[in-house]
């Protein structure tokens, strides 16, 4: 099994010295993961397109996770900010097909992005099936978004496998990510669940030893930065999105 790529969450990094913090993960983590929360979909109010743009300006690819109600209203700003991955939630919109279609058009017209679709622990993964042709990455949340110190849900590995089965049945290859509750203690186990991408934030940027934490996390995930074949797949998906939603 190939080791998963790492997307390092930066909300707990020192945002007053963002460039220096991102230098720690440059060439080691594949992405800087930015959690955008609106205080409605999630209880927290965090950051927005300006921080995405600041992170992207450093040259580190940005993975923007939009935990916001009706994300279509900010998609243009997020894509223009330079995100490499833009993930919206299945639970966040009344019209997910329209949102993903808009993201597909922005990817073709403004800047290529990978189109991510996230599912919360209580959401059946079958919701992805009607939309697979508009999705490059399915992000399986292992915890309820917005609450800290949660352990990954016990069914997360099974849900990752179910996503794989749905994509295989549709003959539509996608990447699968997992986000939530990934720590230095459980990262080695999470790496066996079959995800292509693992998100971890506060386990790395803990205010004490982010460089040492990153080294330990990469070792636990058995990641060799960069993983050439999967990195190529990520970048190919982002640049081959057409307005019609097929690749």
Task: Express each pLDDT in 27-57 by its tens digit.
Answer: 999 999 999 999 999 999 999 999 999 999 9
pLDDT recorded at residue 146: 74
Task: Express each pLDDT in 106-138 by its tens digit.
Answer: 999 999 999 999 999 999 999 999 999 999 999
Alpha-carbon distances of 119 from 89, 214, 241, rounded to whole Å: 6, 26, 22
- For the chain, the average pLDDT equals 91
Distance CA 181, CA 147 (A): 10
Q: In the beta sheet, which residues pair with residue 175?
A: 137
Instruction: Compare 113 and 228 and report the one with higher pLDDT.
Output: 113
Annotated catalytic residues are 35, 179
Distance CA 70, CA 21 (A): 31
- Residues with Cβ within 8 Å of 82's Cβ and at least 6 positions away in sequence, in order, are 52, 53, 56, 57, 62, 111
Among residues 119, 46, 36, which one has the least CA distance to residue 79? 36
Task: Express each pLDDT in 151-208 by its tens digit.
Answer: 899 999 999 999 999 999 999 999 999 999 999 999 999 999 999 999 999 999 999 9
pLDDT recorded at residue 233: 54
Residue-range domains of the chain with CATH: 5-239 (3.20.20.70)
Mean pLDDT across 92-115? 98
pLDDT recorded at residue 30: 97
Q: In the beta sheet, which residues pair with residue 97?
A: none
Among residues 132, 136, 144, 56, which one has the least CA distance to residue 96? 132
pLDDT recorded at residue 224: 42
Residue 244 has pLDDT above 60, yes or no: no
Mean pLDDT across 89-107? 98
Share of the chain above pLDDT 90, in %: 83
pLDDT band of 2, cuts 50, 70, 90: confident
How many other C-beta atoms lie within 10 A of the C-beta of residue 64?
Answer: 31
Q: How many residues does the chain have?
A: 247
Among residues 226, 172, 171, which one has the least CA distance to residue 197? 226
How many other C-beta atoms lie within 10 A of the C-beta of residue 161?
Answer: 15
């Amino acid at each position: 099994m190939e080791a998963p790529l790492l997307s390092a969450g930066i909300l707990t990094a020192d945002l007053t010295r963002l460039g220096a913090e991102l230098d720690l993960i440059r060439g080691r983590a594949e992405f800087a993961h930015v959690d955008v929360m609106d205080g409605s979909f999630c209880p927290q109010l965090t950051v927005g397109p300006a921080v995405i743009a600041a992170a992207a300006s450093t040259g580190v690819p940005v993975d923007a996770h939009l935990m916001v109600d009706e994300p279509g209203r900010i998609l243009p700003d997020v894509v223009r900010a330079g995100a490499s991955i833009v993930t919206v939630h299945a639970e966040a919109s009344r019209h997910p097909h329209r949102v993903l279609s808009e993201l597909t058009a922005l990817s073709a017209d403004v800047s290529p992005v990978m189109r991510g679709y996230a599912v919360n622990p209580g959401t059946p993964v079958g919701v992805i099936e009607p939309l697979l042709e508009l999705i490059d990455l399915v992000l399986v949340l292992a915890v309820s978004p917005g609450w800290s110190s949660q352990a990954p849900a016990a069914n997360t590995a099974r849900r990752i496998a179910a996503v794989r089965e749905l994509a295989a049945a549709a003959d539509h290859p996608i990447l699968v990510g997992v986000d939530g509750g990934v720590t230095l203690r459980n990262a080695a186990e999470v790496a066996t669940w079959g995800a292509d991408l693992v998100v971890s934030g506060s386990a790395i940027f803990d205010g004490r030893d982010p460089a040492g934490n990153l080294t330990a996390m990469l070792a636990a995930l058995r990641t060799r930065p960069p993983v050439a074949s999967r990195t190529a797949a990520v970048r190919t998906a982002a640049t081959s999105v057409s307005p019609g939603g097929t690749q």
